[in-house]
């Protein structure tokens, strides 16, 4: 079964389906009126500092102010050390080198520091959107800016070298680390992405030069623009799919719109020429998603009930506060042993839940109510199986051990709306 990226480009929306071994594993949607903001960089102004919440509201030019937590304020070690040597005469001097515009008398490390000591109302600041506005909440912001390229992620404000955990060969990891150390400017940070595993040093250097130039342009724009201003807009969804998802494991990238196909083909030839031969234009009369059964899978992914192979089922419900997943035996009555019936249902559920979290893009706090099991070995095996099942997920996940009540509490990083929020609207009559 093939690994594919299918792009359905229409005038009013772009839909992207990620197929792994013939199965829909991720679905992405972008409409002109709902374009995501994650990755965008803004020159903003602090409009309110909230000591009680250790956060600040930032005007970045949107309908709602963004939210900046104290831990997301960037203060470098060098600036912190410099602060220790400052006298009160330097109180009103400002620094703009590699970071947000902050009074130097306020420069200190954020860990254990108060927001009111770091930021003040009316202050200009350079921030990046880390989470889209969701519901009544404004965008989540950070000063820890990152710029992704094909092989590298550039962290301009941090002195750091990192290697993707998915690159397991120790020799490759060491070689990448040495190459980055040799090429990077002092005081900057880079993380080697998974695709860098097969990249040459020339590829690494070219990516690094591009990202450094991009950062210079962003800084120049930030000095010229008046507050509030968008100083960098991340790529649109189709180009991000190529940059972030089109790896050596993907056999085909199929596009059903000629204009989009030609734009992406040109982009890939300069960005990742080795992948150009894997891009195809779909021109069949039957719609692309219908041909691959994607429409049916999308409809299923918006339903509350999900059937398991043996007849059990899940109930998935999400609110603004959290998501809850309930596991039930349903039609499955087993054969002779109740414990085995419950264990088999839970094991099927663990695999399906990991799949549904990724497909539906469910984030935030998640509570999973597995069927109670008294057998300790079964409980341990279930928890281990679930942890293994979520390893494919690219989002950051934290899982607490199975409780006595059969509950698993977990968090999954939420940066945008889930599939139901994107595809559906509340029924005013039912509400």
Query: 331 in helix, strand or coil?
Result: coil
Which pLDDT does position 53 carry in this prediction? 92
Averaged pLDDT, 212-220: 95
Which pLDDT does position 421 carry in this prediction? 77
Least confident piece of the model among 71-85, 238-252, 343-357, 414-428: 71-85
Residue 43 has pLDDT above 90, yes or no: yes
Q: How would DSSP label each residue in 205-258?
A: HHHHHHHHHHHHHHHHHHHHSPSSEEEE----HHHHHHHHH--TT--EEEES-H
Which pLDDT does position 175 carry in this prediction? 94
- Burial grade of 89 (CB within 10 A; 0-12, 13-18, 19 or more): exposed
Q: Supply the DSSP symbol for 137.
A: B
Least confident piece of the model among 177-181, 276-280, 335-339, 405-409: 335-339
Averaged pLDDT, 161-180: 92
Query: 306 in helix, strand or coil?
Result: strand
Model confidence over 73-88: pLDDT tens digits? Answer: 976 544 443 433 332 2
Which pLDDT does position 416 carry in this prediction? 78
Averaged pLDDT, 125-145: 90
Q: How far apart are CA 28 and CA 241, in angstroms?
A: 9
Residue 104 has pLDDT above 50, yes or no: no
Residue 12 has pLDDT above 80, yes or no: yes
Which pLDDT does position 127 carry in this prediction? 96
Which pLDDT does position 124 carry in this prediction? 94
Is-contact 380 396, C-beta < 8 A? no
Residue 263 has pLDDT above 70, yes or no: yes
Averaged pLDDT, 189-195: 92
- Helix and strand numbers (H, E) in the chain are 11, 23
Is-contact 423 297, C-beta < 8 A? no
Sign of CA dihedral 146, 148, 149, 152: positive
Q: Which helix (H) or strand (E) holds 419?
A: helix 419-423
142 vs 103, higher pLDDT: 142
Is-contact 193 151, C-beta < 8 A? yes
Model confidence over 107-118: pLDDT tens digits? Answer: 334 556 788 989
Averaged pLDDT, 145-164: 92
Share of the chain above pLDDT 90, in %: 59
| First vs last C-alpha separation in the chain | 43
Which pLDDT does position 335 carry in this prediction? 66
The helix-helix angle for 237-245 and 258-271 (nearest 10°) equals 40
Spatial CA neighbour of 145 closest among 47, 225, 38, 227? 38
Mean pLDDT score of the chain? 85
Which pLDDT does position 174 carry in this prediction? 94
Which pLDDT does position 431 carry in this prediction? 58
pLDDT band for position 154 (cuts 50, 70, 90): very high
Burial 178-190 (b: 16+ CB within 10 A, else e): ebbeebbeeebbb
Pairing of strands 23-30, 279-281: unpaired
Which pLDDT does position 112 carry in this prediction? 62
Tell which phi-psi region holds residue 187, choosing left (phi > 0), alpha (psi between -120 and 50) or beta.
Answer: left
Spatial CA neighbour of 16 closest among 319, 255, 228? 255
Residue 430: CA atoms inside 13 Å, Cβ hemisphere, count?
A: 3
Domains of the chain and any CATH numbers: 1-35+236-300 (3.30.420.60), 41-142 (2.40.50.140), 149-219 (3.30.230.10), 303-423 (no CATH)
Tell which phi-psi region holds residue 341, choosing left (phi > 0), alpha (psi between -120 and 50) or beta.
Answer: alpha
Pairing of strands 252-255, 279-281: parallel
Which pLDDT does position 107 carry in this prediction? 34
pLDDT band for position 90 (cuts 50, 70, 90): very low
Q: How far apart are CA 335 and CA 338, in angstroms?
A: 8
Averaged pLDDT, 332-343: 77
Q: How far apart are CA 28 and CA 251, in angstroms?
A: 19
342 vs 429, higher pLDDT: 342
Averaged pLDDT, 264-271: 89
Share of the chain above pLDDT 70, in %: 88
Averaged pLDDT, 192-205: 91
Model confidence over 221-258: pLDDT tens digits? Answer: 999 999 999 999 998 899 998 888 888 889 999 999 99
Q: Which helix (H) or strand (E) holds 98?
A: none
- Burial grade of 194 (CB within 10 A; 0-12, 13-18, 19 or more): middle
Which pLDDT does position 357 carry in this prediction? 94
Which pLDDT does position 82 carry in this prediction? 41
């Amino acid at each position: 079964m093939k690994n594919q990226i299918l792009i359905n480009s229409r005038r009013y929306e772009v839909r992207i389906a990620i197929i792994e071994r013939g199965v829909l594993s991720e679905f992405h949607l972008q409409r002109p009126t709902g374009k995501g903001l994650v990755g965008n960089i803004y020159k903003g102004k602090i409009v309110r500092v909230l000591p009680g919440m250790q956060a600040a509201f930032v005007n970045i030019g949107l309908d709602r102010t963004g939210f900046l937590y104290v831990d997301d304020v960037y203060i470098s070690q060098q600036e912190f050390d410099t602060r220790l040597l400052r006298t009160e005469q330097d109180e009103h001097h400002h620094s703009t080198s590699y970071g947000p515009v902050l009074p130097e008398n306020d420069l200190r490390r954020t860990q254990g520091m108060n927001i009111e000591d770091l930021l003040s109302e009316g202050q200009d600041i350079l921030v990046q959107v880390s989470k889209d506005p969701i519901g009544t909440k404004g965008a989540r912001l950070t000063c820890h800016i990152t710029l992704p390229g094909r092989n590298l992620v550039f962290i301009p404000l941090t002195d750091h070298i990192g290697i993707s955990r998915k690159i397991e060969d120790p020799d490759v990891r060491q070689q990448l680390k040495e190459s980055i150390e040799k090429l990077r400017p002092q005081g900057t940070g880079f993380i080697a992405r998974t695709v860098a595993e097969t990249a040459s040093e020339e590829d690494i250097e070219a990516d690094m030069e591009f990202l450094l130039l991009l950062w210079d342009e962003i800084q120049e724009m930030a000095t010229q623009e008046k507050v509030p201003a968008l100083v960098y807009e991340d790529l649109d969804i189709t180009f991000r799919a190529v940059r972030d998802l089109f790896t050596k494991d993907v056999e085909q990238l199929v596009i059903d719109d000629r204009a989009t196909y030609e734009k992406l083909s040109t982009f890939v030839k300069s960005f990742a020429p080795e992948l150009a031969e894997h891009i195809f234009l779909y021109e069949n009369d039957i719609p692309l998603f219908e041909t691959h059964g994607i429409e049916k899978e999308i409809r299923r992914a918006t339903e509350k009930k999900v059937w398991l192979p043996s007849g059990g089922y899940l109930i998935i419900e999400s609110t603004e506060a959290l998501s809850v997943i309930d596991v039930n035996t349903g039609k499955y009555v087993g054969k002779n042993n109740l414990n085995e019936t419950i264990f088999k249902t839970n094991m099927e559920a663990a695999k399906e839940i990991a799949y549904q979290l990724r497909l539906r893009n469910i984030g935030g706090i998640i509570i999973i109510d597995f069927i109670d099991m008294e057998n300790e070995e079964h409980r341990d095996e279930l928890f281990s199986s679930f942890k293994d099942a979520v390893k494919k997920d690219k989002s950051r996940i934290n899982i607490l051990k199975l409780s006595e009540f059969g509950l698993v509490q977990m968090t999954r990083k939420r940066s945008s709306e889930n599939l139901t929020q994107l595809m559906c609207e509340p029924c005013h009559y039912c509400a």
